[in-house]
Amino acid sequence: MVQYEDKNVIVDVGMGSRWSDKEKSIYKIHNQDRGLLNALAQHNLGPDDIDDVVLTHLHFDHAGGLCFEDQGERKVTFPGARHWLQKRNWDWAHGATARDAGSYRINDFSFFDAEGSPP
């Protein structure tokens, strides 16, 4: 996270917590939780305090934390933040080749529009 003037910016959001037991086994994921939010809380910040989320790319280990499950409903982790990403990576993630498709989990970011705003 970067803080400057009156803005709080996060660069990448990690893997998140939306992983089935099968996926955890396949990708060797252990003890994934909402660690990013816990780290923010240590600085007296919460999801509503984040102004911008900058994503280097949409691979699941960088963008999986864009959303979380709450009582079976998918919700945006940082609903008030503007989300930033290269258009080229947005386009690639939505039309990935068979070789790259496993690195993108469309459900992690499909609720965003091409302008970086959640519905």
Per-residue pLDDT, 7: 95
Per-residue pLDDT, 1: 82
User: What CATH code would you report for 2-108?
Assistant: 3.60.15.10
Per-residue pLDDT, 107: 86
Q: Which residues, listed in sequence order, are joined to residue 95 by a DSSP beta bridge?
A: none
Per-residue pLDDT, 118: 55
Per-residue pLDDT, 32: 62
Q: What is the DSSP string of 8-53?
A: EEEE--BS-S---HHHHHHHT--S--SHHHHHHHTTT--GGG--EE
Q: What is the pTM of this model?
A: 0.84
Block means of pLDDT (10 residues each) for the chain, length 119 residues? 90 85 80 76 94 95 89 90 92 90 87 62
Per-residue pLDDT, 81: 93
